[in-house]
Structure 1
Amino acid sequence: MSVKQWENDEEIKIFREYLRIPSVQPDVDYSACVEFLKRQANSLNLPVDVVHPALPTKPAVIIKWLGKQPELPSIILNSHMDVVPVFPEKWTHDPFSALMDNEGRIYARGSQDMKSVGTQYLGAIRALKASGYQPKRTVYLTYVPDEEIGGDLGMRELVKGDYFKSMSVGFSLDEGISSEDETYSVFYAERTLWYLRLKFSGTAGHGSLLLPHTAGEKFNYVLNKMMEFRKSQAQRLAEDSSLDSGDVTAVNLTQLRGGVQSNVVPPLLEAVFDIRIALSVDVGAFEKQIRDWCQEAGGGIELDFEMKCPYVEPTKLDASNPFWLPFKEALEQLGLKARFRVFPAGTDSFFIREARIPAFGFSPINNTPVLLHNHDEYLRADTYLRGIEVYKKLIPAVADV
């Protein structure tokens, strides 16, 4: 197709309209997204509900496609409405213009993460309904708020509520990450996320003195231990080509605080670490190791978990998961080369799996630079339309299990 044909394609028009809604964090006004999605539901002649799991300002839009056997556990096709902040001066084009260049690249915040997936679901269902198809299981399209800031007032609360329980969900599809080669990534698990604040108490006094047991000494000891462990994980990743970033534990120092004056040894220093724990690591043993390092440093160190997610079982890639083989076979029938991976960051699938519901993360994007959260985020029009064709196969594969 030419650029002119892409511009006139109805599905591309819908995608670009959604991208032009600046649902950017923080303090998102979701009203324009809600109205857009209501219109899409009406165009498909599907019922739509707007629920507020936590706050009136945090809506979740839920579109229902009734199945022929609604007593069976349902399928959810999840996406989030919010996008991360932008630095307009770093963009070649207005990040909310959805400009399409001569090569069919559509530039916009959310083009990869993940408004594309949200409207590709709609495009696939539009085509399936037009063909006369009706799923065996009821299919819900869920558009949730605040995923980009952790989902605490979005999917986390939705899953806890009566509305979600009434949906009787059996399986979920959600976002993945684009692939830079010909393969497609499918994510079946996520690492365990901790935000750990360490508070180092020590001897205070004049900066000219070599005081014992200072907060700085203790911080230095623990930091060295953390960085040695971090280096070991980087070496594993470099030396074993079978490993992805999601297969090792990531430790990063993200915040430092303390001190009042250049010549005063402070009584307290604070450091925050972002830790993503690999599935192969015993989280209890890992926490004990950190506490042991704190004792070795001289004690007087407080551990404060700003976030301490529990270990969540990965989605099974075997016959115990009835959706596994149909999903895998559909990819094979499409001729797609899939890599089944652990997601390196976090998505709303965490809350779904925490509720013991199998979930896959998948974005039908390959041969594309990974630009989520980056400047000049884009998706090619042909890649977008091919993604609709992929979902036309995947949705019936899981909905007819």
Structure 2
Amino acid sequence: MSSQKWEDNEEIKIFREYLRIPTVHPDVDYTACVEFLQRQASSLNLLVDVVCPAVQSKPVVIIKWLGSQPELPSIILNSHTDVVPVFPDKWTHDPFAADIDKEGNIYARGTQDMKSVGTQYLGAIRQLQASGFQPKRTVYVTFVPDEETGGVLGMAEFVKTDYYQQMNVGFSLDEGGTSATDVHHLFYAERLRWGLKLKFSGTSGHGSLLLPNTAGEKLNYLLNKLTQFRTSQVESLARDSSINIGDVTTVNLTQLSGGVQSNVVPPLFEAVFDVRLAITVDVVAFEKQIRDWCEEAGGSIEVDFFRKEPYVGPTHLDSSNPYWLAVKAAIDELGLKVHPIVCPGATDSRYIRQKGTPAIGFSPIINTTVRIHDHDEFLQADTYLNGIAVYKKIIRNLAEV
């Protein structure tokens, strides 16, 4: 089978052009990306602004589709323009060539996470415009930087700007997750992202002695406690098939340092943990438990929560949320299978929700091998084109709420 039919498709051409712009960490140059998005806005006859809320090198691109009743709260269609690093030798295709094979699979970093969503929004708007549709609410298509590094210089700063305040946002749509089955994953909340560094101080000396209160003993005590807690979360997942990874708390040792040579007991060890707290966790009690364990281990342990995101309530998926009803009506009309879950990772939706605005993560990518942040990331061309049709219905419904 030839790939020509997909290569000739105008929407696929736009998507592939976007994928070929290497907005890849660690040193992202967004210049070509901004120019591409400005051309897309021009092709749609839509207004476009570029705002740099943190630093000049971190631009937010905002494409505006003015509503017939602009005084109503607006809709945001958000996506991020950056992608994670690649290891080219692990790929069977150039990660920024956007090659299409004979099955219609498009290989490139960002196909699933999440450049596809950004240009699908634009494709859906193109089709809505062609049908003569005029939104009641103003629709903003936002393209933000640095989501993959926490959004600190992107969405986190953008929501603080006067520009954002003037947008009068009522609802935000953002990325969801790739699904290997025919069921879409829809995110209505996110776990709290905490970073924990523990510095263990203790007695130092010769490695042949059994010294008291060593840093290693204290480290071992905390590792055992946190590993036991981690095991309890693994067991919870195994016992209850109705929950997923986003419903439990994950704790993982990610960095360990200390020591000078093999026969010297060091005075200090440092351990760093990645912690993702379930939204049901009592965060005050959780922090107290860790501090209590440190005292039980012998004290002289410095506790540093170097990242500590605040609790953010979930978006309600019920009749109290008219935007959800609009999304659900579109999903039902299209006959899609959807499973609402807590996002196991983190997206820019958390910054929107912190402002008290409902936000949902949804990517129309199903029956696809999950390759987010993996080698040979790909998306099938027909899956991409079908996603435009899905967003067309969802955007229309949201704009008419």
Query: TM-score normalised to the size of structure 2?
Result: 0.99
Give the secondary-structure state (helix, strand or coil) at the position aligned to 1:323.
helix
CA offsets 1:178-224 (integer angstroms, 9 cap, x no match): 11111111100000110100011111111111010000000000100
Asked if 1:165 corresponds to 2:177, the answer is: no
Asked if 1:6 corresponds to 2:6, the answer is: yes
**Whole-angstrom CA distance in 2 between matches of 1:291 and 1:330:** 48
**Whole-angstrom CA distance in 2 between matches of 1:319 and 1:172:** 17
Q: Counterpart of 2:55?
A: 55
Asked if 1:322 corresponds to 2:322, the answer is: yes
Give 1:357-396 correspondences, 5 Å limit.
357-396=357-396
Identity %: 70
**Whole-angstrom CA distance in 1 between matches of 2:137 and 2:214:** 63
CA offsets 1:259-291 (integer angstroms, 9 cap, x no match): 112111111110000000011111111111111
Asked if 1:281 corresponds to 2:298, the answer is: no
Q: Counterpart of 1:222?
A: 222
**Whole-angstrom CA distance in 2 between matches of 1:212 and 1:322:** 63
Q: Counterpart of 2:302?
A: 302
CA offsets 1:363-399 (integer angstroms, 9 cap, x no match): 0000001111000000000000000000010001111
Q: Counterpart of 1:231?
A: 231
Which range is displaced more, 215-224 or 316-325? Answer: 316-325
State the Cα distance separating 1:119 from its structure 2 match.
0.2
**Whole-angstrom CA distance in 1 between matches of 2:95 and 2:137:** 38
**Whole-angstrom CA distance in 2 between matches of 1:306 and 1:20:** 35
Q: Counterpart of 1:250?
A: 250
State the Cα distance separating 1:323 from its structure 2 match.
0.8
Q: Counterpart of 1:33?
A: 33
Q: Counterpart of 1:75?
A: 75
Give 1:132-171 correspondences, 5 Å limit.
132-171=132-171
Give the secondary-structure state (helix, strand or coil) at the position aligned to 1:110.
coil
Give the secondary-structure state (helix, strand or coil) at the position aligned to 2:273.
strand
Asked if 1:105 corresponds to 2:105, the answer is: yes
Give the secondary-structure state (helix, strand or coil) at the position aligned to 2:257.
strand
Asked if 1:126 corresponds to 2:126, the answer is: yes
CA offsets 1:125-162 (integer angstroms, 9 cap, x no match): 00001111011100000000000100000000000111
- Counterpart of 2:285, as a letter, is A
Give the secondary-structure state (helix, strand or coil) at the position aligned to 2:159.
helix
State the Cα distance separating 1:337 from its structure 2 match.
0.5
- Give the gaps of 5 or more residues in structure 1: none
- Counterpart of 1:11, as a letter, is E
State the Cα distance separating 1:164 from its structure 2 match.
0.4
**Whole-angstrom CA distance in 1 between matches of 2:376 and 2:224:** 37
Give the secondary-structure state (helix, strand or coil) at the position aligned to 2:384.
helix
- Counterpart of 1:348, as a letter, is D
**Whole-angstrom CA distance in 1 between matches of 2:3 and 2:89:** 26
**Whole-angstrom CA distance in 2 between matches of 1:93 and 1:319:** 47
**Whole-angstrom CA distance in 1 between matches of 2:143 and 2:83:** 13
Which range is displaced more, 187-196 or 260-269? Answer: 260-269
Q: Counterpart of 1:85?
A: 85
Q: Counterpart of 1:114?
A: 114
Give the secondary-structure state (helix, strand or coil) at the position aligned to 1:360.
strand
Q: Counterpart of 2:262?
A: 262
Asked if 1:347 corresponds to 2:353, the answer is: no
State the Cα distance separating 1:3 from its structure 2 match.
2.4
Give the secondary-structure state (helix, strand or coil) at the position aligned to 2:217.
helix
State the Cα distance separating 1:2 from its structure 2 match.
6.1
Give the secondary-structure state (helix, strand or coil) at the position aligned to 2:110.
coil
- Counterpart of 2:277, as a letter, is I
Which range is displaced more, 386-395 or 312-321? Answer: 312-321
**Whole-angstrom CA distance in 1 between matches of 2:207 and 2:162:** 59
CA offsets 1:2-39 (integer angstroms, 9 cap, x no match): 62211100000000000000110011000000000000
**Whole-angstrom CA distance in 2 between matches of 1:303 and 1:328:** 44
- Counterpart of 2:24, as a letter, is V
Q: Counterpart of 2:189?
A: 189
CA offsets 1:238-279 (integer angstroms, 9 cap, x no match): 121101110000000000011112111111110000000011
**Whole-angstrom CA distance in 2 between matches of 1:137 and 1:244:** 35
Give the secondary-structure state (helix, strand or coil) at the position aligned to 2:275.
strand
> Post-superposition, which runs of at least 4 consecutive aligned residues in structure 1 deviate over 6 A?
none
Give the secondary-structure state (helix, strand or coil) at the position aligned to 1:196.
strand
